[in-house]
Structure 1
């Protein structure tokens, strides 16, 4: 570590006492019971439920009133955490919210925010255990047709690592004015008796409104985004107001994609969604076959956001000296990742596809 990083190190307090009152070991959140559990003596305790109804789930936050909107650079700042169990000092990246002490193994749950970052206001707790994640992985890899049989038999995931990753969700009332051209196809027979399709074109314009609810944007740059998309969706309605107890025993990370950049990404994705919705509206209203030259402008009103921590199991397996990584959705068990491909199976699939196409073409020509 550089001298500058050492100078930037901050001492961080723990948010709650993660010590078992029975045997003094570290307690952790148990997805199977939804309680804090000691893995050594079996002590269990429930996580306190807020009395106020509005404090039980993550609340929508006013986007325009958010003070901290910038990105946060992973690894630039550091912080020092003093373990309450063994007094060891450990240097962490400032984005980390939870980890375990490398000296005694006790859970370190740190304060959820720094002076220049927003605090999470909600968490979707783990509902799938690491054992269940392994079962979902076995079903997933057995269902991959192009994966060699030997890989399906031998693939054993390494130890699972549970991690809470940061996400933004955005709500917005959208109002769009649009103009476009739509076409209706008709079949025309020429003087030689041959038929062809012609399209009659018309102009249209209109107004479209839609409420966008909980549009999800990843707030981390550390993990494979394509892989993360494969394990979506999450059950965002089943969230709880953030408590450090929920992240006890798991890794967890602050956002590195800031609120403003998250909203910019959300707006782009919402624009694509609205393009498809307005096109469908024009086709349905005008009994049209095609839509072209669609142009629209959108106003976003009453924009709100949530900063959620979502649960993911990380693991990998090895096949022929190559490591394949995968993720499991900690709520649903949905799996996404990489797996070996059998060239023989791909070749067989291509040959079968070509044979089917040839047969269809043959019967079509015979008719």
Structure 2
């Protein structure tokens, strides 16, 4: 009974020297104490991570086998559901920076992550990336540049994703197009007759079958009112995935999925359909292709719930929320940004005055 009460994602480890909480050290397989420097290795699972059969979960069978209860905090401002692998202290939402009420924490079931891509860059490096990005922004408000100097505005966050694997088979009917050229005489804009080479297409019927393995279709499993994480930073090297261990979460915020498995699966089928159509076009060959009918089947479908790392900087300017995202694996950065009206106004005014001065002296 005692073992059942110790949840995998609720387990925190104290430093044997000073008693402080040990936190994950990005780019390593260790947890360390930020006060005395003591380090301990994370026990790695040599068997690798498990792919779960999809159909039993979609049919609500066996869903409890790989699920657990987790403590959550819900942001009433932006709707994000967050779990924090540390003691709650001066906690704010990573997306909108609004305070979270610790007393509002509640328990909720989730499908246990099968794998995690640990942070490869630490918060100091992410903060330097953010500072450099802000420094290069034109017409950024002074308050934004000041915010860039304060590391408390940049938080490490694990984002939930679904990945889907499947064996794909598709049969198709379509047409293969082959280009040919004809020469004709036309009158140009000056009224002269000229020779023009025109491309045309001969179409031939085509049909066939394609098959292959669709590996790690990545579907974001959470979405707030502000939308998805920017596509620019949404590329991770999934070869760096490790079997899930709560040690990797220590010191970071973890977001719970809000897009259920069933909806994620529907999105993955659309991705698979696009892949199937691309394979069909490659199979048809020629210069251009038409796929008029396609029957796609997926089999041996499996999935994983995985966690991927980002750093988020939340900033409010004139009542509006802005987010800046840094990929916690490769350092890519993207985000929305405010503009300073007065900086733009005075720059435009300076340019106008400069032009008038140049004109004045030119005429003089």
Counterpart in 2 of 1:266?
268
1:180 pairs with 2:170: no
8 Å Cα contact 1:161/1:314 also seen in 2: yes
Unaligned runs of 5+ in 1: 1-10, 71-78, 82-90, 345-367
1:212 deviates by 0.8
Write out per-residue CA displacement over residues 144-203 of structure 1, whole angstroms, 9 at most, x where no aligned residue.
Answer: xxx526679947535211111111111111011011123222221236664333221211
User: In structure 2, how many angstroms separate the alpha carbons of the residues matched to 1:69 and 1:225?
Assistant: 28
Secondary structure of residue in 2 paired with 1:190 = strand
How far apart, CA to CA, are the structure 2 residues paired with 1:258 and 1:278? 31
The CA distance in 1 between the partners of 2:157 and 2:60, in whole Å, is 24
Q: Mapping of 1:112-151 within 5 angstroms? A: 117-138=110-131, 140=133, 147-148=137-138
- Secondary structure of the residue aligned to 2:251 is coil
CA contact (8 A) 2:280 2:291 kept: no
Please report how far the alpha carbon of residue 327 of structure 1 lies from its aligned counterpart in structure 2 after TM superposition.
0.7
Alignment deviations for residues 303-340 of structure 1 (CA, whole Å, 9 cap, x no partner): 11111111111014577886532111111111121235
Instruction: Check 1:68–1:140 CA distance in 2 against 1; reply closer, same or farther (3 A cut).
Output: farther
Report the equivalent of 2:54: 63
> Superposed, which structure 2 residues align to 1:133-212 within 5 Å?
133-138=126-131, 140=133, 147-148=137-138, 154=145, 157=148, 158=150, 159-190=153-184, 194-195=195-196, 196-212=198-214
2:73 to 92, 95, 98: 92
Question: TM-score, normalization: structure 1?
Answer: 0.70
2:11 is aligned with 1:16:
yes
The change in CA–CA distance for 1:256 and 1:318 in structure 2 (over 3 A counts) is closer
Among candidates 221, 230, 233, match of residue 232 of structure 2: 230
- Given that 1:69 and 1:258 are in contact with CA atoms closer than 8 Å, whether structure 2 keeps it comes out as no
| Comparing 320-329 and 171-180, the one that deviates more | 320-329
Specify whether residues 319 and 221 from structure 1 end up closer, same or farther in structure 2 by C-alpha distance, changes over 3 A only: closer
1:90-115 per-residue CA deviation (whole Å, 9 max, x = no partner) reads x834964425434599xx9xxxx95x
The equivalences for 1:174-323 within 5 A come to 174-190=168-184, 194-195=195-196, 196-222=198-224, 224-282=226-284, 285-286=285-286, 288=287, 290-316=288-314
CA distance in 2, matches of 1:238, 1:260: 26
Q: Of the candidates 11, 21, 24, which is equivalent to residue 26 of structure 1? A: 21
Residue range with higher mean Cα deviation, 335-344 or 196-205: 335-344
Q: Would you say the 8 A contact 1:148–1:340 is kept in 2?
A: no
- Alpha-carbon distance in 1 for matches of 2:267, 2:311: 25
Name the SS for the 2:238 alignment partner.
Answer: coil
Give the structure-2-normalised TM-score: 0.70
Partners of 1:97 and 1:325 lie apart in 2 by 19
> Structure 1 residues 300-309 or 26-35, which shifts more?
26-35
Rounded to whole Å, the distance in 2 between the matches of 1:167 and 1:19 is 29
Following superposition, the deviation at residue 262 of structure 1 comes to 0.9
